[in-house]
């Protein structure tokens, strides 16, 4: 096992900068998720680590060894591809054994290793089948099997679950997490799905336009996003953003609302000299509740607005209200009587608000 270090990594395709001066460390045995919208450069980072793309600038270290000029096969990595990339003309056994045979491992040893990996992934019954005869989930297991059988230093996974249906995806998510614990391996995992990132990662690296936006643990990036992009990207439904001005008495004032601030927020306002300034207020949907279900509502902590749509989820209701032309999402108690077309009063958890700079979109701390 080994750590992976990226130093000033830049990758350009002609004039397009896919990865811009990235500095990151993946600790030994960590499960690191690279997440971002499509085209953000996350897959390029993974492919550069794998050696399938050459870094334009910067250095890549795997286990303290500079690997810039080392061929993929000598980097001691295994990659799981989005479309599985199983060899269609080999059966499952041969798919898993292929890499071992190329390394001239004795036959008996190969046999033992393949069966061991197959046992871990519960695909022992499938060893004689061709990929065509497998379901999506089974193919995914074989692709994982092909990776783990080689016992590499680092696993690279490129959106391995995106071709599975929703239910299977949740199941495989847990299995990959379990696999990580069992193998004690370093895993770098690329996805565009923030839920996968939140649920599986020890550390999340959020990227946009080739630039790392924030690196941190799942709860850390959720609770303390660096900027509006991270705040909006992590969490589902996404964080709501409202324009607001800060009054002399540290009240957040928008066109349709006036909100008091908690002590924590007051400190941020003081530290950043925000009195009298325009800011962007961020509120997570779970920090908005139907006022009928909140006891002891503090003064100036509700927003009244027209309900546009309600989406009952069973355990809660998503209520979409219109505030100055912006659709705001609230996750409210399932017993809420909010109806579309009617007015609703939503109570804001004033301790959990996020303040962002209007121009730089950076978070105030």
Partner 1 sequence: MKQSRKERTIVILTITPSVVAVGVFVYGFIAWSIRVSLSDWIGIRPDYTFAGLKNFISLFKSVRFLIDIYNNIFFTILFLAICVGGGLFLAILLDQFIKGEGIFRTVYLFPLAISPVVSAVVWKWIFSPKVGVNVLLTNLLSKIGIERTVEFGWYTSTASFGPFNIALIPIIIAASWGFVGYVMAMYLAALRGIPAELKEAARVDGASEFKIYMKVILPLLKPITLSALIILGHISLKMFDLVYVMTGRGPGFVTDFPSIFMYETTFAANKFSQGAAISLVMLLMVAVVIIPYLTMSLRRET
Tell whether residue 85 is a contact of partner 1 (CB under 8 A).
yes
- Pick the closer one to partner 1 by CB: 21 or 162: 162
Q: Measured from the CB of residue 102, what is the shortest distance to partner 1 in angstroms? A: 4
Distances in Å between the alpha carbon of 145 and those of 20, 116, 159? 33, 10, 16
Q: Which of 16, 54, 57, 89 binds partner 1 (CB under 8 A)?
A: 89
Which residues inside 41-60 make contact with partner 1, applying CB under 8 A? 50-52
**227 three-state secondary structure:** strand
Which residues inside 148-207 make contact with partner 1, applying CB under 8 A? 150
The token pair at 10 is 């830049």
Distance of CA 284 to the CA centre of its chain: 17
The token pair at 343 is 């007015």
**Residues 212 and 205: beta-carbon distance below 8 Å:** yes
- Pick the closer one to partner 1 by CB: 67 or 198: 67
- Pick the closer one to partner 1 by CB: 85 or 245: 85
Q: Which of these ranges, 80-88, 177-185, 196-204, 253-261, lies near partner 1 under the rule CB under 8 A?
A: 80-88
Sign of CA dihedral 46, 49, 55, 57: positive
Q: In what order do the strands lie in the sheet with 240-246?
A: 258-259, 252-253, 240-246, 278-283, 354-357
Size of the site for partner 1 (CB under 8 A): 23
Tell whether residue 65 is a contact of partner 1 (CB under 8 A).
no
Tell whether residue 128 is a contact of partner 1 (CB under 8 A).
no
* Alpha carbons within 13 A on the beta-carbon side of 158: 20
- Pick the closer one to partner 1 by CB: 88 or 106: 88
Q: Which of these ranges, 99-107, 179-187, 260-268, 298-306, lies near partner 1 under the rule CB under 8 A?
A: 99-107
The DSSP code for 363 is B
The token pair at 162 is 């995106």
Q: Measured from the CB of residue 268, what is the shortest distance to partner 1 in angstroms? A: 47
Residues at the interface with partner 1 (CB under 8 A): 50-52, 71-73, 77-79, 81-83, 85-89, 98-99, 102-103, 146, 150
């Amino acid at each position: 096992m080994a750590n992976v270090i990226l130093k000033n990594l830049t990758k350009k395709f002609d004039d397009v900068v896919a990865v811009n001066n990235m500095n990151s460390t993946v600790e030994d045995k960590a499960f690191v998720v690279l997440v971002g919208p499509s085209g953000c450069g996350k897959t390029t980072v993974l492919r550069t680590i794998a050696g399938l793309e050459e870094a334009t600038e910067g250095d890549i270290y795997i286990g303290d060894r500079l690997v810039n000029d080392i061929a993929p096969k000598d980097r001691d990595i295994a990659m799981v591809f989005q479309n599985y990339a199983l060899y269609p003309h080999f059966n499952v056994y041969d798919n898993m054994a292929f890499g071992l045979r190329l390394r001239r491992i004795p036959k008996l040893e190969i046999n033992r290793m393949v069966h061991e990996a197959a046992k871990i992934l519960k695909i022992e019954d499938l060893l004689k089948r061709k990929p065509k005869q497998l379901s999506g989930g089974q193919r995914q297991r074989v692709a994982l099997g092909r990776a783990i059988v080689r016992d590499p230093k680092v696993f690279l996974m490129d959106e391995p679950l995106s071709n599975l249906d929703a239910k299977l995806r949740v199941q495989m998510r847990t299995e990959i997490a379990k696999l990580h614990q069992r193998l004690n391996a370093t895993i770098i995992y690329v996805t565009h799905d923030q839920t996968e990132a939140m649920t599986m990662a020890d550390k999340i690296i959020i990227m946009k336009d080739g630039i790392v936006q924030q690196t941190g643990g799942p709860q850390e990036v959720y609770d303390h996003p660096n900027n509006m992009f991270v705040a909006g990207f992590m969490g589902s439904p996404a964080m709501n953003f409202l324009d607001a001005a800060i009054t002399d008495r540290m009240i957040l004032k928008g066109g349709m609302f006036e909100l008091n601030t908690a002590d924590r927020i007051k400190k941020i306002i003081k530290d950043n000299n925000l009195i009298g300034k325009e800011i962007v207020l961020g509120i997570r949907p779970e920090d908005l509740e139907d006022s009928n279900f909140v006891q002891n509502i503090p003064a100036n902590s509700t927003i009244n607005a027209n309900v546009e749509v309600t989406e009952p989820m069973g355990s809660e209701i998503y209520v979409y209200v219109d505030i100055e032309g912006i659709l705001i999402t609230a996750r409210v108690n399932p017993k809420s009587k909010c109806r579309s077309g009617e007015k609703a009063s939503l109570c804001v958890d004033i301790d959990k608000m996020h303040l962002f700079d209007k121009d730089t979109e950076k978070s105030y701390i």
